[in-house]
Chains A and B, each alone.
Chain A
Amino acid sequence: MTLDAVLLIASGIPLTLAVTAGAFALGAVLGIPLCALRVSRSSTLHLAAVAIIMLLRSIPPIVWLFLLYFGIGSGFLRVGPVEASVAALGLITAANMAEIYRGALRGVHSGQWEASTALGMKPWARFRDVLAPQICRMALPSSVTFFIGLLKDSAIASTIGVGEIAFQANYISRRTFEGLEVFAVAGLVYILISLPIAAMSRQLDSRLRERVAQ
């Protein structure tokens, strides 16, 4: 296998990262209102959120991707492959992040909300100053795990022609018939990206734990 081939595979890294980061950002933001609906006291809103989350999670990512790209994207709305990938993976991420936030919310002691209420803090201040930082801290490990999973799932974007790592590897293997080496290198690239992210998360987590663990 030539250096050129390795470099070509590596040239897919930016798009892999872009699709992953874009989808994660979209999901992390959309997950907040979805989680709010999920824990709502109104049973209509609660059921709506449960249904949305179930729908998003029980359909495979690649089906969502084709649905958005070939379904909506080829009709009245023009959607490029990168946008379609970010949207499809982002929606699935939103459902998962909503559940991660909900778990973190349950992990925050109910006394925290009560104490800030009794102190006379307004609902927004209670959320921003007291709840949100603790939820983020609690949600960190599961979020990073999900992010790394998403990084690998982003490979499905290759099926609609996004030139990321898996796409480049596929392209080279078809031309050179060196499937084993090429995909081994692609796998190695994924590992090399995941490892530092996991290490950073562990370090951040233990630092936070040391400081504020209860």
Chain B
Amino acid sequence: MLSVSPREERADALVSRREYVRVEGLGKSFGPHRALDDINFAVRSGEVVAIIGPSGSGKSTLLRCLNQLETQSEGSVTLAGITIDAAKPATRQQLTELRRSAGMVFQSFNLFPHMSVLRNVSLPQERVLGRSRKEADERSRALLSRVGLEAKADQYPNRCSGGQQQRIAIARALALDPKIMLFDEPTSALDPELGLEVLAVMQELAEAGMTMIVVTHEMHFAETVSDRIIIMADGRIIEEGPSAEVMRRPTTERAQRFLNAVKNR
């Protein structure tokens, strides 16, 4: 019973690794509504962090601040060496670099419906990294086979199931060689079976050493795949720590209430 799981072993090795993300004093208001309040945390290279919590707790907003799809009202975000502070607006070059370093996967997939699956994965490589069409297509096919969808390359996205579309979206993000992957409820729009095939791809990515931040309602994934869990409620971080510990022995009353609600169903 005292055997050390590979994940815990990995967690020990993480201490010496480089910090990829640092969030300091982050706050976000939408008019009078306070979506995020004084968020602080850091993510090291190779670490997998799951962000869980009730709906409307600010999880997605936090993730969207990391790649500046939302601009924060206060505080700073540092991602892959680029710091963006609320005090001064980010330059276009900063934003480009930031987004190149962070791949993002959305709840609604957001594949481009007017392009074939292959073009979906290749076009951003050509436009953002300046790869040639041939180079990009080669890389795309390799990634599509990594997510098990080589055969779908010439189809259009609407001919693919939701699970397949999400795996294509993951391949599209990976094609830009990101340093970190951000997942915004990647399985919430999928039925449980299709969700599993997406989770399997994400687990494979985690095992391959990708740095990941995953906003999710999948408690099993959070507990078994992530190294660390952050629980959010009402725009604040209410609990943070190694996954097993947070899941089994949450310290705050609010976190206990949330975990009880999601586990006892």
Contact = CB atoms under 8 A, between A and B. Distances in A.
Interface stretch (B44-52, B103-111, B247-255): B103-111
B158 A117 contact: no
A212 B114 contact: yes
B99 interface: yes
A117 B114 contact: no
A109 B99 CA distance: 21
A53 B123 CA distance: 36
A121 interface: yes
A212 B67 CA distance: 29
B69 interface: yes
Interface string A107-135: 00101101111111110010001100110
Centre residue among A111, A115, A129, A137 by max chain B CB count within 10 A: A115
Contacts of B100: 120
Contact of A111 (B67, B96, B110, B172): B110
A137 B114 contact: yes
Interface in A160-214: 211-214
Contact of A122 (B114, B127, B169): B127
B232 interface: no
Contact of B156 (A121, A137, A212): A212
B127 A118 contact: no
A111 B69 CA distance: 11
Nearest to A126: B127
Contacts of A116: 112, 124
Given A120-B124, A211-B156, A115 B110 contact: yes
Interface in B208-252: none
Most chain B beta-carbon contacts within 10 A, residue among A117, A118, A129, A130: A118
A111 B108 contact: yes
B128 interface: yes
B7 to A, nearest CB: 28
Interface residues of A, number: 22
B180 interface: no
A119 B124 contact: yes
Contacts of A109: 108, 110
Contacts of B124: 116, 119-121
A13 B109 CA distance: 49
A163 to B, nearest CB: 42
Nearest to B97: A120
Contact of A118 (B104, B113, B123): B104
Given A118-B67, A120-B96, A125 B127 contact: yes
Nearest to A108: B113
A212 B158 contact: yes
Given A119-B173, A134-B114, A129 B123 contact: yes
Contacts of B176: 119-120
Contacts of A119: 99, 104, 124, 128, 172-173, 176
Given A118-B67, A121-B128, A129-B127, A112 B110 contact: yes
A209 B222 CA distance: 39
Given A109-B110, A120-B96, A114 B69 contact: yes
A133 B113 CA distance: 10
A112 B128 CA distance: 16
A112 B106 CA distance: 11
A4 B112 CA distance: 55
Given A112-B112, A118-B103, A129-B112, 4 more contacts: A111-B106, A114-B69, A116-B112, A119-B173
Sort A-B residue pairs by CB-CB distance and give the 10 closest, nearest first: A115-B110, A120-B99, A111-B110, A118-B104, A119-B124, A125-B127, A120-B128, A212-B113, A120-B100, A212-B114
Interface of A: 109, 111-112, 114-122, 125, 129-130, 133-134, 137, 211-214
Interface of B: 67, 69, 96, 99-100, 102-104, 106, 108-114, 123-124, 127-128, 156, 158, 169, 172-173, 176
19 contacts: A111-B109, A114-B110, A115-B110, A116-B112, A117-B99, A118-B99, A118-B102, A118-B103, A119-B128, A119-B172, A119-B173, A120-B176, A129-B112, A129-B127, A130-B112, A133-B114, A134-B113, A212-B156, A214-B158
